[in-house]
Amino acid sequence: MIFVVALVCVLVALVFLHDYMRKSTRAWALLSKFNGDKGLPIIGNALALGFDSDGVSKILMDLWRKHGMTNYRLTVGSEEWVMLCESDDVGSILGHPTELAKPTERNAAMMPFFGNSVSTSEGERWKSTRKLMTPSFHFKTLEARVETVNSRMGALNQVLDQYVDKAPVDLYRYLRPFMFDILCNTLMGVDHNMLANPDHPYLDASGRIIKIATENYFSYWRNISFIFKLTPIYKEMMDTIKTVRGYSDKLIRERRVKLNKIIDDIKSNNRDASVDVNAFVHEKVSEQACLLDSLLLSTLPNGDPAPDETINEEITLLCFTGHYTTTMTMTHTLYCLAKYPEIQKRVLEEQESIFNNDQLRNPTNHDLIEMKYLEAVIKESIRVIPTVTKIGRQLQNELPLKDGRIIPPGTQVVVYYEALYADPKVFPEPEKYNPERFFNSMHPYAFVPFSAGPRNCIGFRYAWVAMKASLSNLLRRYEVLPGNPEDEPKFAHRIITESTNGVKLRLKKRE
């Protein structure tokens, strides 16, 4: 008994010694200049964040208000976090040329699903992959992307027409496969009709990713792998990964068959020995801007073809994020328009001014550029319901802020969108839904939903085209109305914000 008591005393002493040594460092001296709650030894503020990952968002926002609605710090286990909520300081990190590393916890949460893809990779792997992807998202390809959206609208309208003047429709259920089909056609070079099968296993599995990844991020015990592997949650995660990765393999196989035929046709039509067939193939692929072709033709530094596993990681990431984030943003915008009919009326008036008497005409990219008010509505919807709630960087060096304070190396810096977009200094009366605020000048880093700087979202132009073209077509055909009171969305601010009970709206056909 004496031995046990002595051992406990020693352990307690070591814990407090560790805490004392940590707080004696220069790093802590720098961090202590930021407001923050006092944490416990070893675990810091982890208990304050609780054990419900869907409840963390409210706790973090409460801390933001408690500490003066500005940047604040917290300690999560062995990690020091600084939540950046000021536009100038957001610019300091997002515009930094070398601080590009993603946080350890974030990568640990995402890598089981997406591997060492462009989202989590660093250094040469990240640079080479991003360079390879860039042509597929070039502004020169946008007109073709608009045409693809237009060509898919007929099938979506057929589905949605069944709900006109009837029960509310869950727009997640149909906009997700609609966007996935567009992505497969434009970036994967494969025609799939997922809209005809909204209960497809891929859609079911990908719908679980954000909840699991968010729980991975905030449930710290999951880092103890031998315990995590014994739980049913681990099995669910592995089944989800198997399904989404398996679908990526299917896309790779199907496109490889088509690409090989293209290559064979080029070779058979260019028998002149002076013609560099490989260069011609790459030129043809570049013109078509099919991302999967670029990956299939890519090589490693030693000249070997990129392994299918590497390609699978990139495709799995793009297929998921490409359709999921655009769907959430569009659906939440439609929800806001249903909630604020006077705003919806103004959107329709802008559409009528662009299309004049031909409301059935398909939009062009030029038309989309003219949709200034619709764009402001999408931005305000993102501000009110942030699609991506936070992004981060793991500092490799000191980061000086505008007010003179310094964030030390090793700190996880979090760009906290929810707080940034609720700051009354930047967005007066932030509780009000007011798209016109985006016609006023504002700090360049006050609203950065696609991030900014070297590690911004490579597909932001693609996303804007897909969202504006889809919403233009939908809003000229349907008036969107609120669903039943019991169907009010229950938004969970996970890594991506989504409603746990869908977004159910009523539709009325426009004359």
Percentages helix, strand, coil for the chain, rounded to the nearest 5? Answer: 60, 10, 30
Burial 322-355 (b: 16+ CB within 10 A, else e): bbbbbbbbbbbbbbbbbbbeebbebbbebbeebb
Check: CB of residue 178 under 8 Å from CB of residue 473.
no
**Quick one: average pLDDT of 52-66?**
93
* Half-sphere CA count of 181, side-chain side, radius 13 A: 24
| Sequence-separated (6 or more) residues with CB below 8 Å from residue 84 | 71, 90, 93, 413, 414, 415, 416, 420
Residue 150 has pLDDT above 90, yes or no: yes
**Range with the lowest mean pLDDT among 213-217, 310-314, 503-507?**
213-217
| Distance in angstroms (rounded) separating the CA atoms of residues 449 and 464 | 11
Q: What's the average model confidence in pLDDT over 366-374? A: 97
- Other beta carbons less than 10 A from residue 49's beta carbon: 18
Q: Both ends of the chain: CA-CA distance in Å?
A: 84
| pLDDT tens-digit readout, 92-102 | 999 999 998 88
Give SS3 for 135: helix
Q: What percent of the chain has pLDDT over 90?
A: 65
- In angstroms, how far apart are the furthest CA atoms of the chain? 90
What is residue 139's predicted lDDT score, i.e. its pLDDT? 80
**What distance in Å separates the CA atoms of residue 378 and residue 337, rounded to the nearest whole number?**
10
Whether 152 shows a pLDDT value over 90: the answer reads yes
What pLDDT sits at residue 191?
Answer: 92
Mean pLDDT calculated for residue range 469-487: 96
Kindly report the three-state secondary structure assignment for every residue of 283-308: HHHHHHCCHHHHHHCCECCCCCECCH
Mean pLDDT of the chain: 90
pLDDT in tens, 208-254: 999 999 988 887 667 777 888 888 889 999 999 999 999 999 999 99
- Res 403 pLDDT > 70: yes
Q: What is the CA radius of gyration of the chain?
A: 25
C-alpha to C-alpha distance for 215 and 52, rounded to whole angstroms: 8
Residue 104: the pLDDT is: 80
pLDDT for the residue numbered 249: 96
Residue 271 has pLDDT above 70, yes or no: no
The pLDDT value given to residue 272: 60
The reported pLDDT for the residue numbered 287 is 63
Task: Summarize pLDDT for 3-54 with one digit per residue, the tens.
Answer: 666 666 766 666 666 566 677 888 888 999 999 998 888 888 888 888 888 8
Annotated binding site: 457
Looking at residue 208, its pLDDT comes to 95
pLDDT at position 4:
66
Q: What is the mean pLDDT of residues 201-207?
A: 96
pLDDT at 17: 64
The confidence score (pLDDT) of residue 15 equals: 60
Higher pLDDT, 465 or 359: 465
| Alpha helices, H only, 222-276 | 225-228, 232-269
For the cut 80, the answer to whether the pLDDT of residue 275 exceeds it is: no
Three-state DSSP class for 247?
helix
pLDDT band at 273 (very low <50, low <70, confident <90, very high): low
Copy the structure tokens of residue 478.
Answer: 């349907």
Is the C-alpha dihedral spanning 359, 364, 365, 369 positive or negative?
negative
Answer whether residue 266 shows pLDDT above 80. Answer: no
Binding-site members for heme are 457
Class of domain 23-29+50-509: mainly alpha
pLDDT, residue 8, reads: 64
